[in-house]
Amino acid sequence: MPLPGPWSATLLALCVLGCLPGRDRPLPLQQGLAGTIAALPWDSGPPGWDAFCGATSPCDSLLVEPRVVRLPTPPPAFFVPAVRPRALDLSALPSAEFRLAGRPTRFADWGECLDRRHDPTWPDRRVACVALGIAAGTGDTVLVAVLAITPSGDLRWPRLRLLAGERHWQVQRVSIGGG
């Protein structure tokens, strides 16, 4: 049974960031989340995973919602970052601009992308947007729910699993949704 109020957020953060057995220091979750974004099928994907930025709808840059939100287990197919409890704030990272999946990446509000995806000029912007949510896993595992808007305006909702390794997070693709 989940604990009500701020205790549940605190316990989740402690378990995810500090309760990883066999380590002197926990792995930074931001590192794992960046790996999650990079592991998505941007230009090509394994069988059954269509590319988010394929030849017909390429993207030159990524916009990432800086609020990583806390989700129940199992995570819902859809979520709105602005109305979910914040688990982590990526905007606290040292750089507001960086590269993921070989593309310039910056932080932006998910609502901005969601509102503009039906605009006829959206494909011309050649941008994809990503929002992340985390749900408690078991042991050294974190479940990651992703929302992605592709340059074609499609909404995708892949699910990935982060596994804490000795020195880095390993990403496992679990499922793809939308398209």
| pLDDT tens-digit map of 153-175 | 888 899 999 998 888 889 998 88
With H, G, I as helix, E, B as strand and everything else as coil, classify residue 103: strand
Yes or no: say if 35 and 99 are a contact pair by the CB < 8 Å rule. Answer: no
Residues 101/62, Cβ–Cβ less than 8 Å: yes
pTM: 0.80
What are the tens digits of pLDDT across the range 97-155? 678 888 898 899 998 888 888 899 998 999 999 999 998 777 788 999 999 998 888 88
d(CA 97, CA 101): 13
Question: Under DSSP, is residue 90 helix (H, G, I), strand (E, B) or coil?
Answer: helix
